[in-house]
Amino acid sequence: MIKHQTIELPTDNGERLDVHIYNCQLDKGVNILKAEGLEEITARDLADIRLTAGPDHYITKRGAFVAETIIYLHNGNILLTDRNRSPILKDATKAVELHRKHEEFYLDEKIVNELCECAEVDTEKAIKSGVILIPKKEIQKEIPVLRLDKKPLTRFLFRDLAGQYGHLLKEGGVDSLPLHALDAMYSTTVKAPFARALYVHLFWEWFYLGSNDPMDFKSSICADKWIEPNYWGVWGLKRMPTAKRKL
């Protein structure tokens, strides 16, 4: 039986964020969310959840896969798609099956060409088209949190909340946001462009047992994970109006 948890977060604007977490693999979770009229959360949704809940809430201290997808191209450049253009969400069953065997989710040439045609370097245009192109030379391993709204990758992911989210991270003791991406050389050696899911790590620091050194995962963006196994569940979000009190 798939475990389901709902966390209700009241906001300051009369809404309530209902976060639904299903403890299952991505393909099953996507189908459940669809049946419930929900979609997998985006990076912006996750930022909204953390901003609403605050840095000390336990849901803020959990990481999650988000709906955006990263495409590794042969030339070392990367594409980042929004939820609507995600190849993984369109064929989650195949992606999970391949990742379970640690095999890449290769994309057909037609799909790659379509995504490349939609891709924009300009962030605002990319937000409208649903695909942003990040040239290899501009892929940063760390992004200062107070510049999340200035950098194309994080502006595309966190949208209008990028600046606020950066300040939340700063208040939580994070100075820079690490990006864990596959080495560009790897994408030149495989047979075709491929897709990986994006995972936004937990808000606090982990420590290895017996070590005083924190792992560099604090709120990092991971573009190098297999989506199977998935220990973190599949998250959906519903915005609900808050009932007015009777006078």
pLDDT at 204: 53
Residue 238 lies in a domain: no
pLDDT at 212: 38
Per-residue pLDDT tens digits of the chain, which is 247 residues long: 899 999 999 998 889 999 999 999 999 999 999 999 999 999 999 999 999 999 889 898 888 999 999 999 999 999 999 999 999 999 999 999 999 999 999 999 999 999 999 999 999 999 999 999 999 999 999 999 999 999 999 999 999 999 999 999 998 888 999 899 999 899 999 999 999 999 998 775 433 333 334 444 567 889 988 887 777 789 999 999 875 444 3
Give the helix/strand (H/E) hosting 179.
Answer: strand 176-180
Residue 130 lies in a domain: yes
Residue 73 lies in a domain: yes
- Dihedral of CA 91/96/99/100: which sign? negative
Residue 49 lies in a domain: yes
102: its two tokens: 């640690």
Integer CA distances (angstroms), 2 to 21, 24, 28, 85, in order: 10, 6, 9, 27
pLDDT at 225: 86
Whether 123 contacts 131, CB under 8 Å: no
Residue 240 lies in a domain: no
Residue 59 lies in a domain: yes
pLDDT at 11: 93
Q: CA angle, corner 229, sides to 66 and 180, nearest 5?
A: 50
Residue-range definition of the domain harbouring residue 186:
17-202+213-231
pLDDT at 207: 33
Residue 237 lies in a domain: no
Considering its fold, how many domains does the chain have in total? 1
What does DSSP assign to residue 122? Answer: S
pLDDT at 213: 40
**Could you give the 3-state DSSP secondary structure of residue 22?**
strand
Q: What is the DSSP string of 127-176?
A: HHHTEEEE-GGG--SEEEGGGTTTSHHHHHHHGGGHHHHHHHHHHTT--E
Q: Which of 62, 23, 70, 30 is nearest to 46 (CA)?
A: 62
Residue 127 lies in a domain: yes
pLDDT at 243: 55
Single pTM value for the model: 0.92
pLDDT at 206: 37
pLDDT at 49: 97
